[in-house]
């Protein structure tokens, strides 16, 4: 036999190739199971129930211990029992859904949100996101425009309220939200990513929603903190506005 051959028909290179194929197939199987722990569409569209729990689809549950002592199991129960305000545009699988009722609050399309924890994201022993009135260790650089006191202008060019405070992310050290007092007197949050500060005109411009729609921004349980679930709902409201704030936005461009 030649050098490297195990038998007359099998050599080390061939065995190595077979081992690699087996390893690669196992790796793909492992990764395809692991990606079903979070965010994978495991709900059957026609019936709305969770797909087969067999070993091919779901990995064994893994328990994550959180800083506050609670535990989260993944994959957990994927069933979504919310009363979704939507209806299929057509009966076949893959057809789009249309919102029912107020599209800004229906939780459909760009306005969809997830059932996250209804507790604030914590940084050690205090909420990660907080208004400057509580996060006194932070301040706005004097060379940058301070949005507090500025008028908030909606997509219709009218005033929707006035900025009263700024909410900062203590870990990322950036502005997350602007606290807006609407013309009706409510205090709501405006995600910084949906706003543009015009320091020259002393205005905060928001193209996602109109001035009157600030009054319906989802409220917070506490005036000084926001939970993960509330963050999703607030951001989803402005996201819905990009498509549903005005009827013309839901129409084709051409």
Closest CA to 3 of 16, 18, 11, 15: 11
Between 198 and 109, name the one with better pLDDT.
198
Q: How far apart are the first and last CA of the chain?
A: 73
**Cβ neighbours for 34, distance < 8 A, ≥ 6 positions apart:** 59
The model's pLDDT over 119-140, given as tens digits with 9 standing for 90+, comes to 899 887 889 999 999 999 999 9
pTM over 0.85: no
Runs of H (alpha helix) within 199-252: 228-244
**Mean pLDDT of all residues in 76-95:** 75
Please report the pLDDT score of residue 41 as a whole number. Answer: 60
Report d(CA 242, CA 147) in Å as an integer.
23
Between 67 and 45, name the one with better pLDDT.
67
| Structural domains in the chain, sorted by start | 110-250 (3.90.50.10)
pLDDT band at 203 (very low <50, low <70, confident <90, very high): very high
Please report the pLDDT score of residue 94 as a whole number. Answer: 78
């Amino acid at each position: 036999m030649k050098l490297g051959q195990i038998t007359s028909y099998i050599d080390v290179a061939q065995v190595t190739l077979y081992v690699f194929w087996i390893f690669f197939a196992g790796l793909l199987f492992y990764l395809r199971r692991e990606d079903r722990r979070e965010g994978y569409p495991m709900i059957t569209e026609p019936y709305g129930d969770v797909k087969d729990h067999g070993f091919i689809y779901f990995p064994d549950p893994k328990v994550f211990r959180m800083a506050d002592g609670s535990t989260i199991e993944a994959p957990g129960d994927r069933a979504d029992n919310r009363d979704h305000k939507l209806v299929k545009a057509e009966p076949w699988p893959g057809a789009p859904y249309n919102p029912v009722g107020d599209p800004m609050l229906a939780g459909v399309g760009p306005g969809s949100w997830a059932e996250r924890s209804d507790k604030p994201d914590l940084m050690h022993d205090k909420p990660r996101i907080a208004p400057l009135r509580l996060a006194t260790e932070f301040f706005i650089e004097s060379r940058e425009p301070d949005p507090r006191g500025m008028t908030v202008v909606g997509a219709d060019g009218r005033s929707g309220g006035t900025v009263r405070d700024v909410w900062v992310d203590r870990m990322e050290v950036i502005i997350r939200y602007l606290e807006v007092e609407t013309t009706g007197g409510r205090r709501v949050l405006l995600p910084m990513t949906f706003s543009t500060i015009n320091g020259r005109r002393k205005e905060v411009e928001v193209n996602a929603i109109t001035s009157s729609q600030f009054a319906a921004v989802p409220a917070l349980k506490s005036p000084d903190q926001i939970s993960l679930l509330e963050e999703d709902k607030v951001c989803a409201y402005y996201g819905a506005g990009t498509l549903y704030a005005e009827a013309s936005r839901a129409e084709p461009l051409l």
